[in-house]
Chain A
């Protein structure tokens, strides 16, 4: 019965891992969306070793321990196998190492099955064992190393083999406490006298760990010590005392140890500095959010974005690729492990083995909760491993030894368990651990399902720019469908190119580091295919690839020939030029100088932000300039009529724009506002709404027109507008014009406004030119030249 059940569970685990391996092999095909890829095979060696190791362990346990718990070995097998394949998937270079560690761990397990079931050696040599553990840990003070080459030096290394002594130290502490308490507890001495040697030992260990800044292990030590003493003595005041000590230590640590403060601060408020101190936890939550319910699938997520995903953040990696279904199963496996551990404890035949089994289970449980809680922002982050799953030989072997001891303790012939006068500490401890797992599951649901959508749309989610490399982004076209921005390259290497670099500050950019700006930002949902595509298509792509469908092309109202002429004229100057269709408000030319070349963002991005010339600024919509008497009188002189001209409202456009600063008698306005207001004189007294995005190309119904966001508004009567326009007209030209220069303390601004006359038979046009210099002749020359060019049929 036991043997059959254990074999069957191991086979099921093998089936699960084989499916994992198959999907991982196929994953490059899904990523590149073609079968012509190089498939991943290397992890199969890990699976093979796993299968052989656990087949031997299965056989040996059946032979040597016929009455063992049939669940412990399969749980260990599925956790360590899952972890092994995850490591092969995350960091293939570490996969072989972990495979060797797994081989060693199962070898230790198989050999250890022959230990006498009463484990008396461990009991007799408790001090020797503990002090050799402490000695090894102390050695890291002098010979400490870190396999990564930086960070806390908690390892002892020889060549490229590293041992983290604090891992076995936890196990040795449990053994020591179990042996000590079972020897002394019946003496019924005062509590302080009873616990004095243990306090000494634990104090020494904690001191060592604190000096080494191994705070994760230190927290586990305090928690383990508390729970074991509580279970050993059944005195509830232990819980209170230790909880108080932990709190006090935490507060003290917060004010004296920088890393504690950092961890607590980023725990309480991770959103304050998501790209700096709380980068890890925010990336962890993003990975969990990307997992959702079913997960992205093995090899198909981007868990590598979380730092050290193979060790501290392996839970986040697992959550991303397996989703809530996977993490729920993982947590249930740990829950079952805790349940079986405590069952072994309660059935144990003497107090020593009872405390030992409960202590070992508590050790695995606390460590799981600490790191899972850290990944889920339930607890401050501590750098400990997820038992059996994380990368790390010391941790894997220590965990396997714990399982070995549990197997030995739990495999007794049917004798009566030792009496237990007060079972409640065991019940409370296991209930605490299990409810911690439940809480983790709830937190996982919260981040993975409820908060998933708004986490993933965060601009610091790197998955968006990764998707940009695999899914073509829509093109941005001019009014005659000539490309302005386009995406080219192959799957996996798509790159945005900007064909008209002069439009940089207007059309903007989309960049993996610097984010998005301009129309690339405001039209992102169309360009990315999230808007304008059928919802079912978006959801299907999300399910298959975790990426949006192909992006939609967007057509702008810009006329590239006129645009080039304007850019040529303004090249050497600082200023803005906007030419609009006075009746529809369509923007034909939008030019802001100086500007930047988005193609060179990789090199210039960092300096652009502090550029003295404000090259990133789109001066047409976001610039704000003072106006003088001439322009004021054009727009009705007083505040009320300036309001009807729309100078105090931001033009509604599918891109950022500003409203005038309402300094009562001296408003500052943007060139676009001026153009829309001046259009009144070319369009029979009606102010048009602004529009730059005219259409999107949907896959089903072709080009779909996007209407302007505002409505046209009557400002003047047609005759009133015509009178003013005619008073401003210039001889032999079909348009009116005004210009003025303002000089302030250290700056000067020249405005030029012009527009077709009301009787103009073709498309009415209005132009506004602003130069940040005192140069009226140039403004008139450039402005009228562009307008005349536009008027050519």
Chain B
């Protein structure tokens, strides 16, 4: 009789080992899920950009996505029409709780507040960006609802 009882205990032993490992791996997955939820709930503070293209009236647009591409390419977020701008000219990026401007190897360069841009640079309200013959003026919205990135 001892054999079957101990067999049941042995199966229980294996199951307890599996449940220990299962719990570990489940916790890791849960960790990833939480991380995903944090990222999903993270709000990008809106950015207002006043666009003044040559030969047209200035327009103001509000963006809420974390990445804004500026260029002549049809799927650009800010579509430039004049010839001096490159197809993918510059990019605005939100990370580390800030908006960064980055030149995408444009032919004629990107100018931030009358300085030519060489490395990605943090921008603030009232900064002026010039791509070709287009001038963009930044108006940042205040960002109280922002959470920072957590390590996974």
CB-CB contacts of B9-32 with A at 8 A, as 1s and 0s?
111111011111101110110000
Q: How far is B17's CA from A19's CA once the two chains are assembled, in angstroms?
A: 10
Given contacts A12-B19, A336-B24, contact A300 B6 (CB under 8 A): yes
Chain B: minimal CB distance from A105 (Å): 21
B2 near A29 with CB under 8 A, answer yes
Point out the residues of chain B lying under 8 angstroms from A336, CB to CB. 21, 24-25
Residues of A140-193 at the interface with B, using a CB-CB cut-off of 8 Å, are none
The answer, yes or no, to whether A13 is at the interface (CB within 8 Å) is yes
CB distance from A727 to the nearest CB of B (A): 67
B10, B14, B20: which contacts A9 (Cβ < 8 A)?
B20
Q: Determine the chain B residues whose CB is within 8 A of the CB of A414 once the complex forms.
A: 148, 150-151
Q: Does B59 contact A (CB under 8 A)?
A: no
List CB contacts (< 8 Å) of B72-114 with chain A. Answer: none
- Contacts A26-B6, A35-B2, A297-B6; A19 near B12 (Cβ below 8 A): yes
Q: Report the minimum CB–CB distance from B55 to chain A (whole Å).
A: 45
* A417 cross-chain contacts in B, Cβ below 8 A: 151
Does A545 sit within 8 A of B, measured CB to CB? yes
The answer to the question of A295 belonging to the interface, with a C-beta cut-off of 8 Å to chain B, is yes
Which residues does chain B contribute within 8 Å of A295, judged by CB atoms? 10, 14
A289 to B28, CA, bound (A): 33
Partner of B2, one of A8, A33, A71: A33
* Interface membership of A15, Cβ < 8 A: yes
Cβ–Cβ contact B10 & A294, under 8 A: yes
What B residues does A27 contact at CB under 8 A? Answer: 6
Interface string of A1-20 (1 = CB under 8 A from B): 00001001100110110011
Q: Which residues of B contact A294 (CB under 8 A)?
A: 10-11, 14
Q: Does A329 belong to the interface (CB within 8 Å)? A: yes
Shortest distance between the CB of B11 and any CB in chain A (Å): 7
Residue A252 lies at the interface, judged by CB distance under 8 Å to chain B: no
Question: In the complex, which of the residues B5, B14, B20 has the most CB atoms of chain A within 10 Å of its own CB atom?
Answer: B20
Given contacts A19-B9, A30-B3, A298-B13, contact A12 B23 (CB under 8 A): yes
A550 to chain B, nearest CB (A): 14
**Chain A residue nearest to B30 in the complex (CB):** A5
Interface positions of A from 284 to 299, Cβ below 8 Å from B: 294-295, 297-298
A297 and B16 form a contact (CB under 8 A): no
A34 partner residues in chain B, CB cutoff 8 A: 2
| Residues of B12-69 contacting chain A, CB below 8 A | 12-14, 16-21, 23-25, 27-28
> How far is B3's CA from A27's CA once the two chains are assembled, in angstroms?
9
The CA of A19 and the CA of B15, in the complex, are separated in Å by 10
Chain A residue, CB-CB nearest to B2 = A29
Chain B hits for A300, CB < 8 A: 6
Q: Is the CB of B14 within 8 A of A322?
A: yes
In the complex, the answer to whether A333 meets B21 with C-beta atoms within 8 Å is: yes
- On whether the beta carbons of B2 and A16 are closer than 8 Å, the reply is no
Check if B21 sits within 8 Å of A19, measured CB to CB: no
Instruction: Check: A371 CB closer than 8 A to any chain B CB.
Output: no
Asked if A23 meets B23 with Cβ closer than 8 Å, knowing A325-B17, A325-B18, A329-B18, the reply is no
Q: Write out the residue numbers on chain A whose beta carbons fall within 8 Å of the beta carbon of B150.
A: 414
Task: Answer whether A30 and B2 are a contact pair too, CB < 8 Å, given A294-B14, A414-B150, A417-B151.
Answer: yes
* Contact between chains at A9 and B16 (CB < 8 Å): no
Q: Is B20 in contact with A23, judged by CB distance below 8 angstroms?
A: no
A23 nearest in chain B by CB position:
B9
Which residues of B sit under 8 angstroms from A9, Cβ to Cβ? Answer: 20, 23-24, 27
Complex alpha-carbon distance, A120 and B3, angstroms: 57
CA distance A19 to B8 in the complex (A): 11
Is there an interface contact between B9 and A326, defined as CB atoms closer than 8 Å?
A: no
A23 touches B13 (CB 8 A): yes
Q: Contact check: which of B2, B7, B16, B27 meets A15 at CB < 8 Å?
A: B16
* Residues of chain A within 8 A of B21, CB atoms compared: 329, 332-333, 336
Q: Can you name 28 A-B residue pairings with CB atoms under 8 Å?
A: A9-B24, A12-B16, A12-B20, A16-B17, A19-B13, A22-B9, A23-B6, A23-B9, A26-B2, A30-B2, A30-B3, A30-B6, A34-B2, A71-B27, A297-B9, A297-B10, A297-B13, A322-B17, A329-B18, A336-B24, A336-B25, A347-B151, A414-B148, A417-B151, A543-B7, A544-B6, A544-B7, A545-B3
Which residues of B does A touch, CB under 8 Å? 1-7, 9-14, 16-21, 23-25, 27-28, 148, 150-151
Q: A20-B13, A294-B11, A329-B18 are in contact. List 12 more A-B contacts (CB 8 A).
A: A9-B20, A9-B27, A16-B13, A16-B17, A19-B12, A23-B13, A26-B9, A33-B3, A71-B28, A332-B21, A336-B25, A417-B151
